Amino acid sequence: MTAEGTLRADIVEVGRRMYARGYTASNDGNISARLGSDRLLMTPKGVCKGFMTPDMLCITDLEGKKVQGDRDPSSEMLMHLEVYRQRPDVAAVVHAHPPTATGFAVAGIPLDRAVLAEVLTTLGSIPIAAYATPSTSELPEAVRRFVKAHDGMLLANHGALTIGADVYAAYYKMETIEHFAKISLVARLLGRENLISREEVGRLQGLRDTYGIKAPAPICAEDEPAQDPAACQVVQAPSSPRARLVPSADGDGEIRLTYRQLTELIEDAVRTLR
Ligand SMILES: [Zn+2]
């Protein structure tokens, strides 16, 4: 198979996996990849990503002008073009609406707590790009703020975006984000989240070099003065020189009541006021 044929097959396969895993519904989501130095291969508009065939993809130039294909490129093409403009090292972009990660994006809660060692070494933090109307030029603008230092981000009230050195690398980051979101949700439902200490985060950052993980930016602490989201990945990790895990403040002293207990308390309070 030619290089272009392989790339088409990879995009089709990733679309199938995204749909099969419920990361997209209906015609949602889009995937693109660099095809040589001045061309992009892009999923088409209005097609379910679970049932694409290689011939459905279209080729555009780096300005988004279609140069080949029967169908029109994705309505989110502008966001893809912006990523390639900002990140010459990136060769593929994946956008989807994985439900748990998108729930965090809707709640306005970034996935930026130091919780899982693997997520810290690969993605660092997963910030939220500001809400923008889909398919307009606002969205690339919102993404621009984070894309230099992050390979994955949530899009407020919309979904998630991941990028990588090839189509599978970008897609696997989407899997990591959704998996991380599910684990974070369960931990928060259980009422406690032990965080990895700042010192341990430093050690994990050292592992990036050992394992040759190419991160676009270093991890920095939330209380460091320079918090430029274009220069570093801001991770919430409490300092604790002697412990590698620190119980989060959220779980401490938390009182959980059932609806009935809460109603009784309110009724008691109302009675004493009478
Ligand atoms: Zn979308």
Ligand 1 centroid – CA 136 distance (Å): 12
Ligand 1 centroid – CA 211 distance (Å): 33
- 245: exposed, middle or buried (Cβ count in 10 Å: 0-12, 13-18, 19+): middle
Q: With DSSP H G I counted as helix, E B as strand and the rest as coil, what are the percentages for the chain, rounded to 5?
A: 40, 20, 40
Could you tell me which of 102, 113, 208 has the C-alpha nearest to residue 158?
A: 102
DSSP 8-class letter at 143: H
Ligand 1 centroid – CA 70 distance (Å): 22
Ligand 1 centroid – CA 54 distance (Å): 21
- Give residue 224's identity as a one-letter amino acid code: E
Indicate whether this model's pTM tops 0.85. yes
Please tell me the distance from the alpha carbon of residue 186 to that of residue 194, in angstroms, as a whole number: 13
Identify the pLDDT of residue 196.
96
- Going 108 to 174 to 89 to 2, the CA torsion angle's sign is negative
Which residue bears the tokens 């748990």? 100
Ligand 1 centroid – CA 205 distance (Å): 31
- Going 4 to 1 to 92 to 133, the CA torsion angle's sign is positive
Ligand 1 centroid – CA 106 distance (Å): 13
DSSP 240-260: -TT-SEEE-GGGTT-----HH
Relative to beta strand 245-247, strand 128-129 is unpaired
Tens-binned pLDDT, residue by residue, of the chain (274 aa)? 899 999 999 999 999 999 999 999 999 999 999 999 999 999 999 999 999 999 999 999 999 999 999 999 999 999 999 999 999 999 999 999 999 999 999 999 999 999 999 999 999 999 999 999 988 889 999 999 999 999 999 999 999 999 999 999 999 999 999 999 999 999 999 999 999 999 999 999 988 888 888 889 989 877 665 667 778 899 999 999 888 999 876 655 555 677 888 888 888 888 877 7
Ligand 1 centroid – CA 24 distance (Å): 9
